[in-house]
């Protein structure tokens, strides 16, 4: 593979991630090298970022391609631990360890009108809403998604 053309390697990574999560970047590098690709940890890290892959408790995965907002969020409800209002327009969402980035991405992809934005850490997501009413509506949406799971 020519050094300047990353697309074949990224396509190979995408196919691997569609089959199952990959535990570590190192195991992904080894699998790519075994398939004849030039791959290093740093190149794989860049490829994963470009593909929008997320690190979950199972390993690296591609986010769901479903466009239904409730389904998009229902896929991560098992990762939620607590939801607590923190003022009139901020929610603190506690998740399983290492799951906050995946939950934050689900909030982004849902495009729910109540969500102004969010920040995901390791096990906590801060979600900003436009008002206290929007905050209450968002809590109801999250609870609805969890019930429909």
Q: Is the dihedral of CA 39, 14, 121, 89 positive or negative?
A: positive
| Per-residue confidence band for 138, with pLDDT thresholds at 50, 70 and 90 | very high
CATH fold for the domain made of 69-148:
Gyrase A; domain 2 (3.30.1360)
CATH fold for the domain made of 7-61:
Arc Repressor Mutant, subunit A (1.10.10)
pLDDT score recorded for residue 117: 96
Ranking 24-33, 39-48, 63-72, 109-118 by mean pLDDT, the lowest is 63-72
pLDDT in tens, 43-67: 999 999 888 787 766 788 876 544 4
pLDDT in tens, 89-104: 999 999 999 999 999 9
pLDDT score recorded for residue 137: 87
pLDDT of 70 over the 80 cut: no
For residues 52 and 18, the model is more confident at: 18
H helices of the chain, where? 7-19, 25-34, 41-51, 69-74, 100-110, 132-148
Residue boundaries of the structural domains of the chain: 7-61, 69-148
């Amino acid at each position: 593979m020519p050094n300047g053309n990353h697309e074949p390697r990224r396509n190979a990574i995408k196919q691997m991630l569609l089959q199952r999560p990959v535990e570590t970047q190192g195991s992904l590098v080894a699998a790519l090298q075994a398939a004849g690709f030039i791959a290093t940890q740093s190149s794989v890290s860049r490829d994963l970022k470009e593909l929008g892959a997320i690190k979950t408790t199972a390993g690296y995965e591609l986010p769901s391609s479903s466009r239904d907002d409730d389904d998009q969020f229902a896929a991560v409800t098992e990762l939620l631990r607590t939801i607590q209002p923190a003022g009139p327009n901020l929610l603190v969402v506690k998740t399983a360890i290492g799951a906050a980035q995946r939950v934050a991405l689900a909030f982004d992809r849902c495009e729910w009108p109540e969500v102004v934005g969010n920040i995901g850490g390791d096990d906590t997501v801060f979600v900003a809403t436009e008002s206290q009413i929007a905050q209450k509506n968002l809590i109801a949406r999250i609870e609805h998604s969890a019930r429909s799971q």
